[in-house]
A and B are shown apart, each in its own frame.
Chain A
Amino acid sequence: MNIFDRMVALDRRWVFLFLFVVVALAYFFRSQFSVGVVTTGEVESIYNFIENAQPGEKILVSFDYDPSSLAELHPMSRAIMLHCFRKGVKVVTVTLSQYGAGMVEEITREVSAEASELYGREIVYGEDYCFIGYRPYPAFVILGMGENFRVFFPRDYYDTPLDEIPIMHRVRNYDDLKGVIAITSGTTSDMWIIYGNARYNMPLSLGVTGVMATDYYPYLGNALFGLIGGWKGAAEYEKLVKQEADANEGMPAQVVAHLTIVLFIVIGNLGYLMTERKKKITV
């Protein structure tokens, strides 16, 4: 058995071992080296969207995920909110996920505290952001908010009437917002496209998990103006707002894992092509 035969018939357990060791090392030493994340157009367009907003303009951020997808989606939620607070863009938050309310409350509180520290100004509930709560049946809520936020949310999560919240003043529906960013881990993303964008035509972009992302690329440029997919997308956004955190810390592991897989594919193909050539000669 020569080297090329071995390359073709390599026991997959070597692949497993190698991958495990490499990912573990990269994760251990994640703070030692940083990877240059290449930003992509679909993430940049969300960044630019907020960057070009005037202070005082409002966006709706919908956190449609539950704690099980928190690890993957939380970094992008944080980066987007920090960016808004830095620009003075006001954030209206909502959740369409049954188990999302407690989580959103926590995220908004944490991020606003962090932003207060970072940007040296108090981020105030009601002035800079608000959380209007959760209602079931996402499709109907999305349609309802297109009519008037008060249809499903007469009061916010803390039971304050919407008209008494300064940012909701004179905000009736999507028309009064600069746009909507929905961070979702399930079918609500389809609903935002079908019932939100198609019907009310507001600028919409999505933040989704890595598995879902390929399903939503096709909507870029028509229904969506931007898309953030998984850790990579979140890492790009963190880089754009210069607030590198969780997603960027995960990137070394991601990069070496991808490199490992690419390497093994190359080994496999090299071996395959060489043995094939030899076969042709002998026959």
Chain B
Amino acid sequence: MVFTVSLFMVIQYFVPLDSWAWMYQYLIDWTIIIGVFALLLGIWSLLRVNWGKISRRSENWGYAVITLVGLFVMLIFGFFPGGGNLNNYVYEHFFFYILVPIQATMFSLLAFFIASAAFRAFRARSVLATLLLIAGLVIMIRFVPMGPLSEPISDLASWILKVPNLAAKRAIIIGIGLGAVATALKIMLGIERAYLGRD
């Protein structure tokens, strides 16, 4: 199964004919649809875990109730009154006034964490750590106006971004490319089978 479909995907890359493109589109569509079926499994797991917490009255079980209430309110309004579209008041407002602000705020926590990570980890412990530190500092102080020093710092920052950055990223990408290809081959040949749940 794995070998057949994966071989097809490899070969279709080289064949520009309609019939092949058509098959390719089908395969892609199918994987997406199967993915949605899997979401049901996810919801099931979520219910199971939270219901477990509630019925055991384990610590913080009250919050499990909140999760389930949020889930059901959203599901009910998402499925029933919509009539095929999701433009109903509750669904949209839950999205805009609950999901969007929390999401944006979680994302903005990064501003704080990037500062604390820099504070904690940018220490001159070893040669490598010092290099990391210096490169990071150069890029950061390029923001700060520093009179006559600004020019050389900004030049150095550009150089770091243009030269070592290019070399390192390219080396990593080639490594990843080869590793990915090797893994794909191992899957095709049936050597890598962990994804099937056994070794």
Asked if A and B touch directly (CB within 8 angstroms), the answer is: yes
Residues of B in contact with A (beta carbons under 8 Å apart)? 111-112, 114-116, 118-120, 122-125, 133, 136-137, 140-145, 150-151, 154-155, 157-158, 161-162, 165-166, 169-170
**Which of B114, B118, B155, B161 is A214 in contact with, Cβ under 8 Å?**
B161
- CB interface residues, A 243-283, toward B, < 8 Å: 254-255, 257-262, 264-265, 267-269, 272-273
Pair B111/A19 contact, Cβ less than 8 Å:
yes
Pair B158/A218 contact, Cβ less than 8 Å:
no
Cβ of A12 under 8 Å from chain B = yes
Cβ of A36 under 8 Å from chain B = yes
Counting chain A CB atoms within 10 Å of each CB, the highest count among B116, B137, B142 belongs to B116
Query: Mind listing 15 A-B residue pairs with CB under 8 Å?
Result: A15-B115, A16-B115, A20-B112, A23-B111, A40-B154, A41-B158, A214-B165, A217-B162, A221-B162, A260-B115, A262-B140, A264-B119, A265-B119, A267-B119, A272-B124
Counting chain A CB atoms within 10 Å of each CB, the highest count among B115, B124, B169 belongs to B115
Cβ of A124 under 8 Å from chain B = no
Pair A268/B112 contact, Cβ less than 8 Å:
no
Pair B116/A15 contact, Cβ less than 8 Å:
yes
Counting chain B CB atoms within 10 Å of each CB, the highest count among A10, A19, A41, A232 belongs to A19
Given A261-B115, A264-B115, A269-B133, do A255 and B145 touch, yes or no (CB 8 Å)? yes
How many angstroms from the CA of A272 to the CA of B120 in the assembled complex?
Answer: 10
How many angstroms from the CA of A259 to the CA of B115 in the assembled complex?
Answer: 11
Pair A268/B123 contact, Cβ less than 8 Å:
yes
How many angstroms from the CA of A233 to the CA of B60 in the assembled complex?
Answer: 47
Given A217-B161, A272-B123, do A232 and B143 touch, yes or no (CB 8 Å)? yes
- B residues less than 8 Å from A259 (CB atoms): 144
Cβ of A25 under 8 Å from chain B = no
Residues of A in contact with B (beta carbons under 8 Å apart)? 10, 12, 15-16, 19-20, 23, 35-38, 40-42, 213-215, 217-218, 220-221, 232, 254-255, 257-262, 264-265, 267-269, 272-273
How many angstroms from the CA of A226 to the CA of B170 in the assembled complex?
Answer: 20
Counting chain A CB atoms within 10 Å of each CB, the highest count among B151, B161, B166 belongs to B161
Pair B169/A215 contact, Cβ less than 8 Å:
yes
How many angstroms from the CA of A203 to the CA of B119 in the assembled complex?
Answer: 41
Pair B118/A261 contact, Cβ less than 8 Å:
yes
Instruction: Look across to chain A and name the residue whose beta carbon is closest to the beta carbon of B164.
Output: A218
How many angstroms from the CA of A37 to the CA of B144 in the assembled complex?
Answer: 8
- A residues less than 8 Å from B158 (CB atoms): 40-42, 217, 220
Instruction: Look across to chain B and name the residue whose beta carbon is closest to the beta carbon of A220.
Output: B162
Name the distance in Å between A132's Cβ and chain B's nearest Cβ. 27
- B residues less than 8 Å from A267 (CB atoms): 119
- B residues less than 8 Å from A12 (CB atoms): 116, 119-120
- B residues less than 8 Å from A10 (CB atoms): 119
- B residues less than 8 Å from A19 (CB atoms): 111-112, 115
Pair A218/B169 contact, Cβ less than 8 Å:
yes
- A residues less than 8 Å from B166 (CB atoms): 217-218
Pair B140/A269 contact, Cβ less than 8 Å:
no
- A residues less than 8 Å from B116 (CB atoms): 12, 15-16
Pair A265/B162 contact, Cβ less than 8 Å:
no
Pair B119/A15 contact, Cβ less than 8 Å:
yes
Instruction: Look across to chain A and name the residue whose beta carbon is closest to the beta carbon of B139.
Output: A214
- B residues less than 8 Å from A265 (CB atoms): 118-119, 122, 133, 136-137
Name the distance in Å between B87's Cβ and chain A's nearest Cβ. 17
Pair B119/A268 contact, Cβ less than 8 Å:
yes
How many angstroms from the CA of A269 to the CA of B170 in the assembled complex?
Answer: 31
Pair A36/B161 contact, Cβ less than 8 Å:
no
The 9 A-B residue pairs whose C-beta atoms are closest, nearest first, are: A218-B166, A217-B161, A12-B116, A264-B119, A36-B145, A258-B143, A38-B150, A16-B112, A265-B122
Name the distance in Å between B102's Cβ and chain A's nearest Cβ. 16
- B residues less than 8 Å from A40 (CB atoms): 154, 157-158
How many angstroms from the CA of A57 to the CA of B166 in the assembled complex?
Answer: 33
Counting chain B CB atoms within 10 Å of each CB, the highest count among A41, A220, A268 belongs to A268
